[in-house]
Chain A
């Protein structure tokens, strides 16, 4: 793995929706490169005939009746929202320009 460049860090930050300062971008380029270098140790392991594990326990479908039951009130659901309008969450503008 080549060293992560600040432009790459900038791109990952956009994918992650993470606002980074220029100083953070430079810092992360160095730190993340070192960590990713360490991750490359895994290339030494032969996994050509190994299936991946995504959960440590055997999963089974769990089914239940699709019935309604009491839940949060509108007031409770909205009480932690920074911006509320007329009983609704206010979201960021999606379309810019």
Chain B
């Protein structure tokens, strides 16, 4: 039965159509594999036992009707939503069922999964390592073949970074491509729901299912570009390499793997151009000010009156960010912190606009290192924040980004990040897919022998 769970979404759909196996057999294979592996990996906070549909893991920040939704927090320990997020209704229309709710950092705040009130998710490639965060369980579950694909959310890298650290594909769509209706809010000017999958083609399929306006998220009301098929040939395509993404702080092994991947893109017909994103060094500070400010406002709703428990139940990182955000927005500090960061955000956005005059996509690493040890950074929040350096600038600019497996360092996966212009997911998916199909990295599976 474990053969079924290795299939990509595209292969699964084809085999179901060809009647190679039934939906019941497929469900039963995933339900039993997830139940067997979860005690060690802790990728799911809750598991359902669906018997029909194709099974997806859903990050526990998506409201799922009649299925407990905790956001990784004790505050929502007993919260059972009376409604579905838009993306969940959309998946339902495509015969996708919820296998379970995946583990995540509390209210999607963290880079390692260790901020979950329900215990850290383990990296399937090495159980002593973090899976990345905050969509930790979503990435680990796909890597361990516990579900066909999963949904995550990316505010500052929370889809791309765990996908990179777990060796799967993660797509952060353009801000405003996918409705946030029913997604538990973290930072409203940054939050992007998106897929974690076993192939780039699967990411395109799932994005096609969940994108589009629903009349409930005004940012999704209009698109500058539709999703319309893929570009087959990369010849003539320009790949920009930002010098700031290959500078000090990047692990040597990761650098070698990413440079090799870029060489592969050249072999596929791309030309490489050097670009610069000069405000990168200020992105982490600007991001953590703006994100924390929005967090402090969004998390003000948890008053223990309409739903959820009291505010004393927030974990340390949630409290820390509420405090930072309240500080940045308070009288006397607003100009120096919140307003200043919003201006720096403009400069970061302009960096990308200028860079995209010279290239079609930007390529680089997702994370400066491969997965680190559980516990290694948890007591040093600033050190943890700095690991987001290659993902937060694009989040501030609202552009789409893809993480594709591109190698290993000491047995741990490395992800290649491909960033595109606003609403140009098609081009990054085309580059990612051509790369994936010309390499075998996506076929590597963790040796799960427990």
Spell out A's residues near B (CB within 8 Å).
4, 9, 12-13, 15-20, 24, 28, 31-32, 34-36, 38-39, 41-45, 47, 50-57, 59-60, 62, 64, 72, 76-77, 79-83, 89-92
Contacts and interface: CB of A to CB of B under 8 A. Distances in A.
Contact of A42 (B189, B286, B322, B381): B286
Given A45-B282, A52-B346, A56-B189, A9 B323 contact: yes
13 contacts: A9-B323, A28-B320, A31-B320, A39-B288, A41-B285, A45-B340, A50-B344, A54-B189, A59-B219, A79-B82, A80-B78, A91-B305, A92-B305
B296 A16 contact: yes
Report the 6 A-B pairs with minimum CB-CB distance, sorted nearest first.
Answer: A56-B398, A52-B342, A80-B307, A76-B82, A47-B343, A16-B326
Contacts of B174: 57
Contact of B323 (A18, A54, A55, A81): A18
Nearest to B386: A38
B346 A79 contact: no
A43 B340 contact: yes
A25 to B, nearest CB: 10
B378 interface: no
A56 B349 contact: yes
Contacts of B215: 64
Contacts of A51: 343, 346
A19 B327 contact: no
A79 to B, nearest CB: 6
Interface stretch (B50-58, B248-256, B309-317, B361-369): B309-317
A43 B344 CA distance: 10
Interface in B168-221: 174-176, 189-190, 215, 218-219, 221
Nearest to B304: A82
Nearest to B296: A16
B247 interface: no
Contacts of B385: 35
Contacts of B319: 18, 20, 24, 28
B82 A12 contact: no
Main secondary structure of the interface of A (DSSP, over half): loop
A56 B326 CA distance: 22
Interface in B296-348: 296, 300, 303-312, 314, 319-320, 322-324, 326-328, 330, 336-337, 339-347
Contacts of B306: 80-81, 89
A76 B279 CA distance: 48
A15 B311 CA distance: 13
B297 to A, nearest CB: 10
A19 B286 contact: no
Given A47-B347, A60-B222, A15 B330 contact: yes
Contacts of A81: 305-307
Given A17-B311, A82-B304, 5 more contacts: A39-B341, A45-B344, A50-B344, A80-B78, A92-B305
Contact of A50 (B80, B303, B346): B346
Q: Which of B282, B304, B324, B327 has the most CB of A within 10 A?
A: B327
Given A38-B382, A76-B82, A12 B345 contact: no
A31 B342 contact: no
A81 B339 CA distance: 37
A83 B303 CA distance: 12
Interface string B364-405: 000000000000000001100100000000001111000000
A97 B303 CA distance: 21
A35 B381 contact: yes
A36 B282 CA distance: 13
A42 B342 CA distance: 11
Contacts of A79: 80, 82
B326 A42 contact: no
Q: Which of B175, B281, B345 has the most CB of A within 10 A?
A: B345
A82 B305 contact: yes
Contacts of B79: 80
A18 B300 CA distance: 9
Contacts of B190: 56
Nearest to A61: B218
Nearest to B422: A57
A42 B346 contact: no
Given A50-B343, A82-B304, A55 B327 contact: no
B109 to A, nearest CB: 14
B178 to A, nearest CB: 13
Contacts of A31: 320, 381
Contacts of A57: 174-176, 219, 398, 422
B289 interface: yes
Given A15-B326, A36-B327, A54-B189, A82 B349 contact: no
